[in-house]
Amino acid sequence: MDFDAFHHQRPHIADNIMTEWESLQEWLTPDVSVTRYARLLAINSSELEEVFLLGGDSLPRIVRVGFFSGAIDRVSHGPPGGSLSIIEILKDMNRCLSYLSGTVLPANALTQENIRTLHGELMKSSQIGYTHLDGEEVAYLNTIGAYRRRLVTTDLTSPDAPEDEPAKIVQYARYQEIEHHMENFLAMANRQLAGAQLKRGDPTAFALAAWIHYNLAIIHPFTDGNGRVIRVIASLPLLKAGFPPINIRHREKPKYLNALNTAAQTFDLGPLANLIASEMRESIRYLRSIPPPSPDDSQWKTNIHDGETRIVL
């Protein structure tokens, strides 16, 4: 649906976010600030989708030193490959963000090829996915960098719902129509991005990000990785306005899903735009709480081979 069909208020904290973001860059330098934000996002975005869940001091260590398995303190939940697989997943997200800022951002238009490439970078280490069926973990093959070729649904039924309450099943666009839906969406998105002429700190970027997110979410173009790649793509107007990309923590998942549902039911992008803004501010403040780089960081810059099979001769 077109941007003008939605109610879209501007987050009142947008000015404060830009001030805090610029202050962080002055303190850490722009390069360190951007690098640390990307590391934080890589972790939070995968945890939001429960690709893995880290514990202990894993988060601050990885944010400080980078993608080393030695920086992982504890894995509460994760892929069969262990810490090394998690590190590869994080590196994939980092490449995805680099492609967005280095290739997509400077261009005048977002293309289907851009979107497929972003997904291919994001999912490079996730060609085998896992789902639970009748209490067992079942592996399946992901198609990366290509639109899905099957029906995808999401069950939003609460585990506490009464047995006689109808299930809440979301069915996304039919896979036969994805190419057509994406063509229409990109025509609208490129028109809106060009017409907005976003300046640095423009709060309209948050409403546009929410609108892009909502439209891609209802199409759900890929078999897996939709949430992560959609948040990356929806970050484009924010980057154009000088803000960092979308980052939402696992603890805010109920608010996140409710905001998307509100957009679907009432055509109001306000809750989603406000959540994106408030979570961006929390991300910046979290980074502010982590000390600058120091020689002590080197103790975590190791890779532990905890997920490899070896043949001993």
Where helices occur in 67-166 by DSSP H, the ranges are 82-99, 112-122
201 annotated ligand-binding residue: no
Cα–Cα distances (Å) from 35 to 4, 17, 18, 42, 99, in that order, read 35, 18, 17, 11, 14
31 annotated ligand-binding residue: no
230 annotated ligand-binding residue: yes
Are 122 and 228 in contact by the 8 Å Cβ rule? The answer is yes
- Beta-sheet pairing, 153-155 with 136-141: unpaired
- Amino acid in position 183: E
CB atoms under 10 Å from CB of 298, counted, come to 11
290 annotated ligand-binding residue: no
List residues bridging with 153 in a β-sheet: 171
With tokens 């995968």, the residue in question is 46
Helices 30-48 & 226-234, crossing angle to 10 degrees? 150
Separation of alpha carbons 226 and 251, rounded Å = 19
Rg (C-alpha) for the chain, rounded Å, is 20
Catalytic residue among 8, 181, 213, 220: 220
149 annotated ligand-binding residue: no
Separation of alpha carbons 207 and 196, rounded Å = 11
134 annotated ligand-binding residue: no
Are 52 and 72 in contact by the 8 Å Cβ rule? The answer is no
**Catalytic annotation present for 220:** yes
44 annotated ligand-binding residue: no
225 annotated ligand-binding residue: yes
Active site residues: 220
User: Which residues are annotated binding-site positions for ATP?
Assistant: 224-231
User: Which residues are annotated binding-site positions?
Assistant: 224-231
